[in-house]
Structure 1
Amino acid sequence: MPTRPVLLYDGDCGFCTTAVRLAERLVRPRCATVPWQYADLTALGVTRERAGYEVLWVTPTGAVHGGAQAVAKALLSAGGAWPVVGASLTLPPLRWAAAGLYRLVAANRHRLPGGTAACAAPGPDLAPTRHTPQDTP
């Protein structure tokens, strides 16, 4: 297991890579940022399907948070005012809105700046079927 949190993202997606690089510069989350294609997913306790479906935040203890909650965890780990933003994204109703916005962006990332056809997210048939307790509202 890693000694600090890991943010897994789709390294084949130009939009995702650009977003992560921007977050590294502006937000400065306290984590390792790793394309899931180059990560030891088994060691992190993550399936290839789930990593391809959403951004993931994996804690040193093995807890996995996906999608908007992974973004919230990254914001919570940063300095400045970012933890306030991250904390607000964990509370209803903002949590629900953030989850919906995340899914909308993920479904259309190939249409966003930097996106290509390779950025198209997998369809619902590839969506993970099991979620950990950390992922439930």
Structure 2
Amino acid sequence: MRTRPVLVYDGDCRFCTTSVAFLERLLRPDCSITPWQFADLASLGVAQRRAEYEALWITPTGAVHGGAQAVARLLLRAGKGWAVLGALLTLPPFRRVAHGVYRIVADNRHRLPGGTAACALPADRR
């Protein structure tokens, strides 16, 4: 049984990898961080299709939070002032905005600095 949450991200996307590395250095969260390509998704209770679509935060009890809510959980786990920001992202008005911003970034990550063709989601997933 896991005792720490797991953050799962797209390790083939340089934008995602760079973003996660930056957040890991900045926040130093108490969690495991792994690309979905190297994760045992079945044991985490996550389908590959979902892991391809969004970052995931999986709690030790198996609850899965995706996209902006995964980021919110990461911030909450980081503590200090970051937890306040994470908590705000879970509240209704901010949650909706955070989801929209996350989708815009995720759907266009191949166009962002560090993004490559490997970052592009298939057309049916954008």
Task: Write the distance in 1 (CA, Å) between the matches of 2:75 and 2:100.
Answer: 18
1:49–1:126: 8 Å Cα contact kept in structure 2?
A: no
Q: 1:13 and 2:21 equivalent? A: no
Q: Give the distance between the partners of 1:51 and 1:122, measured in 2 at CA.
A: 13
Where does residue 112 of structure 1 map in the other structure? 112
Give the aligned partner of residue 39 of structure 1: 39
Q: Distance in 2 between matches of 1:118 and 1:82?
A: 30
- Residue 100 (structure 2) aligns with: 100
Q: What SS is found at the alignment partner of 1:57?
A: strand
Question: Residue 65 of structure 2 aligns to a residue in which SS?
Answer: strand
- Counterpart check, 1:122 vs 2:122: yes
* TM-score (normalizing by structure 2): 0.96
Indicate how the Cα distance of structure 1 residues 126 and 110 shifts in structure 2: closer, same or farther if over 3 A, else same. Answer: closer
More helix by percentage: 2
Count of residues in Structure 1 that have an aligned counterpart in Structure 2: 126
Determine helix, strand or coil for the equivalent of 1:34: strand
Cα deviation for residue 83 of structure 1 reads: 0.2
Per the normalisation by structure 1, the TM-score is 0.88
Q: Distance in 2 between matches of 1:111 and 1:6?
A: 27
In the alignment, structure 1 segments of 5+ residues that lack a partner are 128-137
Classify the secondary structure of the residue corresponding to 1:96. helix
In structure 1, how many angstroms separate the alpha carbons of the residues matched to 2:117 and 2:54? 17
CA shift for structure 1 position 79: 2.5
Indicate the percent of aligned positions where both proteins have the same amino acid: 68
**Is the contact between residue 52 and residue 122 of structure 1 (CA under 8 Å) also seen in structure 2?**
no
Q: Partners of 1:126 and 1:104 in 2: how far apart?
A: 12
Deviation at 1:104, TM superposition (A): 0.1
Report the 3-state secondary structure (helix = DSSP H, G, I; strand = E; otherwise coil) of the residue aligned with 2:92. coil
